[in-house]
A and B are shown apart, each in its own frame.
Chain A
Amino acid sequence: MAELALPALTMILTMILTGAGLFFFLAGSAGLIRFPDLFSRLHALTKADNLGLGLIALGVALQAETWAQVGRLALIWVLALLAAGSVALLVAGGALAEGTARGRHRP
């Protein structure tokens, strides 16, 4: 990837993508802190953070030197996606079963 003729352009693209990724992480964290109940917090955390991680991985992949590194970054994103999605479902299911989801952490 580094042999691309326009290193400056890829650098700018990387900055834009990772910057956008950081913004989504920030939004997800804000949602985690500010949203009132467990389900909407999970929603903020999983959706925004998975998108943020994907954008950061994409931005970093533009700087990778080999395709193997790109593959590893993609694998990291897919695994994090799978883990976050499954764990969010498990947490939500557990909260539903216990009936403790709403209002428990309400300030």
Chain B
Amino acid sequence: MTTALPLLLDAALCALILGAALATVAGRGVFRAVVFFITYGLALSIAWVRLGAVDVALAEAAIGAGLTGVLLLAAHGRLRRLRAAGDPGTGAAAWPAALAGAGLTGALIWAWFALPLPEDPGPALAGAMPHAGVGNPVTAVLLNFRAWDTLLESIVLLAALLGVWMLTRRQDWHAPPGLAQHTASGGVMAGFGRVLPPIGLMVGVWLVWAGAEGTGGAFQGGTVLAGVALLVFMAGLPPPPRISAPGLRLALVAGPAVFLMAGLAGAVLAGGFLTVPPALAKPVIVTIEVALALSIAVTLALMVIGPPEGEASHGQR
């Protein structure tokens, strides 16, 4: 009983993940696919918890299920407004997508078998941890031992937002981003938008700070903060800033800029790009994490809000 129960739970979880994945791909309708995708992400994050990877679980729940889900829902809403939300799952147009998806899956399966199993990184990582400056091995890898990957990831996020902004028409460039939000003052949304942000702010800041020693980090905390910003914007208190505002631009590049500067300082002072002396590692990593969290939060929130849509959405302007 005691050994069979976890096995039963894991089997049910696997079935849930596979079922949700299948329903996402095979079901009719964009909206249904998005809802199943979110369910899939949540089930996947529970699976990560079962595997003991709580950091990955947090990232999957916040970014994979939460933020990506909201992005997809926003895209669906935009398609519906444009009267373009046909069912892309039908007809000849579906075949290239299906083939590409199947090909990618095949390539991943091939890579899984073809690549050599990595040696257990445990002993080497445990030996290096005293020099990392932080207690959480995940943070040590992301921001110290393999900081390159994280630096490039933060720049990729920025590039994605630039891609969204490229959809802006020239005359809308100085308009507020996204659609105008019509919320009654004293209404449900206004109240919700006032009650939740203080708690969300606390949780987000805590996740960023706690990432140095325990579960958390810039990406998880930044996503929670992005959620707080979205809630405030949706409640219209205040509306999102214009994308040409200098302060906003500064917040967007703060993370990658601080990261790059720390890397260059390492190249000059410590003998290698992104090399951090162990004595300085903790303050440097925490500084990078704070700047990164700010940039991630602002970038993700603006990505969901979308490009400025000017007169089409802002009525009488």
What is the interface of chain A, defined by CB distance below 8 A to chain B?
Answer: 75, 79, 82-83, 86, 89-90, 93
Contact = CB atoms under 8 A, between A and B. Distances in A.
Contacts of A86: 188-189, 191-192
B199 interface: yes
A86 B193 CA distance: 10
Contacts of A82: 192, 195-196
A79 B196 CA distance: 8
17 contacts: A75-B199, A79-B196, A79-B199, A82-B192, A82-B195, A82-B196, A83-B192, A83-B196, A86-B188, A86-B189, A86-B191, A86-B192, A89-B188, A90-B188, A90-B189, A90-B192, A93-B188
A89 B196 CA distance: 16
Nearest to B182: A97
Interface residues of B, number: 7
A89 B187 CA distance: 10
Interface in B182-209: 188-189, 191-192, 195-196, 199
Interface SS of B by simple majority: helix
A90 B199 CA distance: 21
Interface of B: 188-189, 191-192, 195-196, 199
Identify the 5 closest CB pairs spanning chains A and B, nearest first: A86-B192, A89-B188, A86-B188, A90-B188, A90-B189
Nearest to B193: A86
A86 to B, nearest CB: 4
Nearest to A78: B199
A82 B189 CA distance: 12
Contacts of B191: 86
Given A83-B196, A86-B189, 4 more contacts: A79-B199, A90-B188, A90-B189, A90-B192
Contacts of B199: 75, 79
Nearest to A88: B188
Contacts of B195: 82
B38 to A, nearest CB: 14
A82 B195 CA distance: 9
Contacts of B188: 86, 89-90, 93
A86 B187 CA distance: 10
Contacts of A79: 196, 199
A93 to B, nearest CB: 7
Contacts of B192: 82-83, 86, 90
A89 B188 CA distance: 7
Contacts of A83: 192, 196
Contacts of A90: 188-189, 192
Nearest to A97: B182
A77 to B, nearest CB: 13
B179 to A, nearest CB: 14
Nearest to B234: A90
